[in-house]
Amino acid sequence: MLKAAAKGQAVALNAYQLGLHKLRPAFVMVGLFSAVINVLMLTGSIYMLQVYDRVLSSGSVPTLFGLFAIVVVLYAFLGYYDFLRTRSLSRMAIKLDQMTGAATFRNWVRSGLPGDAGAGPMAGQPLRDLEVVRSFMSGPAIMALFDLPWVPLYLGILFFIHAWLGWLTVAGAGVVFLLALANRAVTRRAILRSMAMDGAERDFTERSRRGAEAIQAMGMEQAITARWGAMHIATLAAGQMGSDPSEMLAAASRAFRMLLQSAILTLGALLVLRGEISGGMIIASSILTGRALTPVDQIIGQWRSMARALEAHRNLGAFFAAQPAQKQQIDLPAPTGQITVTRVSKLAPGKPGTDRARILNQVSFTLEPGDGLGVIGNSASGKSTLARLLVGAWGPDAGEVRLDGATLDQWDPVKLGRAIGYLPQTLEMLPGTIRDNIARFDPEADDGSVIAAAKLAGVHEMILRLPEGYATRLGGAEMPLSGGQIQRLGLARAIYRQPRLVVLDEPNSNLDVAGDDALAQTIAALRAAGSVVIVMAHRPSAIAAVNKVMILHSGTVAQFGDKEEVLAAVTGRTAAAQAPSAVVPEAVEAAATVPEVSQRTDAEMPPKVAARVKAMTTPKSAASQTPAPQSMENVHDLAAATPRTAVFRAAQPPAKPTTPKVQP
């Protein structure tokens, strides 16, 4: 079904408009039902007319019963068509949801991307908007809208009975209509405001729950509750501001309508006394006036829900329109993994025209299948941004990223996604089992591929040791895994079905020595199988198994080339850096700790030997270490790396703190 929806999306760009368009025949049908219903609604007044003018004057009981039998049949039809109309509308509502729900959800998820691919924080709450539209479509307000075009019919009959009765009703309808306009004027802004505030409040609530551990630990509960309380009261107040005048106007309108009914009776009686109409016509016209004003009255009563629905409808239209149009993709053959980055620049997300910081500046490089690239650089040098661009989560502002010669947006997204593995820096598993998460929620995943990915990532045994193994549920309140375990699961997800391009953003920030080694082996195995592996790293151990290194400095490539050459150049320059004329001191500092470690655990080195070397060179605890200037740099890097993992740590029960691995 998802596939079908994806195809539909490719044909018509705006799934919401398409959904509404497809409902057109059903809308016409409802219109026809409304026509029948409104004509049948005349039954009551015509019956009154007949009873007063024919039965009462002639005293004929058989006529009365005959007329009554006809009325019974007509009301039966009325009921039946009313039922048909209600049922059609509620089915249409479900159908709209079915046709657009998946696309709305997909776009909503996409809008979470902080870059230009997503609509950013302005995206609103399209799923809730869709719910509002859906409940409007099956609610009473829409029926009033369908009845509204029939008001002239009742007015016409009133005019036919007597022009004065017609005019009085028109004047009454005018007053009611003005009340409706006033209602709209006073509520519109309030409704908009309260909807926006409601969204913000929900967002705050959700995020607070996710940050529960930090809130609890640092005693933020009271402050957070106070903040929520303030938001909540403001939301309520905004809603109330609109609802007070709206309710007053609705009540005024109801009272006025009853008054109008009596006014019609009065005028009717006057006309009877003048001998211009018959007695039965008084009652008939009173009923007709009531009917003519009912839809108007209902619309006023339902004004708030209608305004909300209209707003939601507009939001949805704007939301879908803001989604970048998908290029027509051609079914390219599965990529080999050759990646070419040409003068890619990226500005900080923001409105075009405003002053936006340059995160990446003219980055260029090429990698062939089987290459492994380590990207190192200080914090905020643009490593994660480059990772996002490489996997297509963000688009570049200038330059190109090409996979097998085609820019990423030329690929079919599903095919491209299969060819890409990405381990983001902040990682959150989705609610589901471990198997689901590794298999990227692919409904057709086979166990073999899941286990192969887990084994390649070195997590198979760890998963089996869990009481429920691969069926262990992640997400939600209980998170039965440690930060490092989650990071390794993220790695398994990234390499599920051996993608051709694997981008790992700080894959070892939570790993211990064993995890580091497993990671190096995984990278080596992926490269041996012909995948391109790109590792963004603070800690040099992550780049043990790569053959190329890039040093990023403030978004610019300071060095790129074979690992040995770059590292040799950097160490050479480190010596030079003692002199004050260093060119890129920060990048050099960042890379300065690389050579010794990478030599220790080089890809060529058997993993066991590497592990032993590492065990020998790794002190038992950070405290027992006498820091040399370079190791200080390293310790500093580690400390800097820790807080950024807080997001997925916060999703777990308070666990024993992981001791960061320290290298000499």
Ligand X SMILES: Nc1ncnc2c1ncn2[C@@H]1O[C@H](COP(=O)(O)OP(=O)(O)OP(=O)(O)O)[C@@H](O)[C@H]1O
Chain residues that interact with Mg ion, rule: CB under 5 A:
383-384, 425
Answer left, alpha or beta for residue 53, where phi above 0 means left and psi between -120 and 50 means alpha: alpha
CA distance 539 to 542: 6
- Shorter beta-carbon distance to Mg ion: residue 219 or 643: 643
Query: In angstroms, what is the minimal distance from the CB of 393 to ligand X?
Result: 11
CA distance 470 to 436: 9
- Shorter beta-carbon distance to Mg ion: residue 100 or 425: 425
- Shorter beta-carbon distance to ligand X: residue 121 or 152: 121
- 118 binds ligand X, rule: CB under 6 A: no
Q: Which does 627 bind (CB under 5 to 8 A by kind): Mg ion, ligand X, none?
A: none
Which 3-state string (H, E, C) describes 496-565? CCCCCEEEEECCCCCCCHHHHHHHHHHHHHHHHCCCEEEEEECCHHHHCCCCEEEEEECCEEEEEEEHHH
Query: In angstroms, what is the minimal distance from the CB of 391 to ligand X?
Result: 13
Report the residue from 291, 435, 488, 538 that binds ligand X according to the rule CB under 6 A.
538
- Shorter beta-carbon distance to ligand X: residue 378 or 522: 378
Query: In angstroms, what is the minimal distance from the CB of 171 to ligand X?
Result: 59
Type of residue found at 412: D
Q: Which two tokens stand for residue 262?
A: 């009596």
Question: With CB under 6 A as the contact rule, which of the stretches 11-19, 255-263, 299-307, 378-386 interacts with ligand X?
Answer: 378-386
- Shorter beta-carbon distance to Mg ion: residue 107 or 425: 425
- 382 binds ligand X, rule: CB under 6 A: yes
- Shorter beta-carbon distance to Mg ion: residue 195 or 542: 542
113-137 per-residue burial string, b: 16 or more CB within 10 A, e: under 16: bebbbbbbeebbbbebbbbbbbbbb
Instruction: Check: CB of residue 332 under 8 Å from CB of residue 404.
Output: yes
Q: Which does 380 bind (CB under 5 to 8 A by kind): ligand X, Mg ion, none?
A: ligand X
Q: Which does 382 bind (CB under 5 to 8 A by kind): Mg ion, ligand X, none?
A: ligand X
- 107 binds ligand X, rule: CB under 6 A: no
Instruction: Check: CB of residue 188 under 8 Å from CB of residue 182.
Output: no
- 487 binds ligand X, rule: CB under 6 A: no
- Shorter beta-carbon distance to ligand X: residue 178 or 357: 357
Residue keyed to tokens 């950097």: 570
Q: With contacts defined by CB under 6 A, how many residues of the chain interact with ligand X?
A: 14
R_g of the chain computed on alpha carbons: 35
- 384 binds ligand X, rule: CB under 6 A: yes
CA distance 3 to 15: 14
Report the residue from 8, 114, 399, 413 that binds ligand X according to the rule CB under 6 A.
114
Q: Which does 349 bind (CB under 5 to 8 A by kind): ligand X, Mg ion, none?
A: ligand X
C-alpha distances in Å from residue 519, one per residue of 429, 442, 535? 19, 24, 11
Q: Which two tokens stand for residue 498?
A: 């051996």
Query: In angstroms, what is the minimal distance from the CB of 401 to Mg ion?
Result: 18
Query: In angstroms, what is the minimal distance from the CB of 505 to Mg ion?
Result: 6
Binding mask 393-432 for ligand X (x = CB under 6 A): --------------------------------x-------
- 120 binds ligand X, rule: CB under 6 A: no
CA distance 462 to 470: 10
H or E element that contains 229:
helix 221-273
Instruction: Check: CB of residue 309 under 8 Å from CB of residue 131.
Output: no
Instruction: Check: CB of residue 371 under 8 Å from CB of residue 548.
Output: yes
Q: Which two tokens stand for residue 355?
A: 């002053």
- 381 binds ligand X, rule: CB under 6 A: yes
Report the residue from 85, 383, 435, 649 that binds ligand X according to the rule CB under 6 A.
383
Q: Which does 609 bind (CB under 5 to 8 A by kind): Mg ion, ligand X, none?
A: none
Residues at the site binding ligand X, with contacts judged by CB under 6 A = 114, 348-349, 359, 377, 379-385, 425, 538
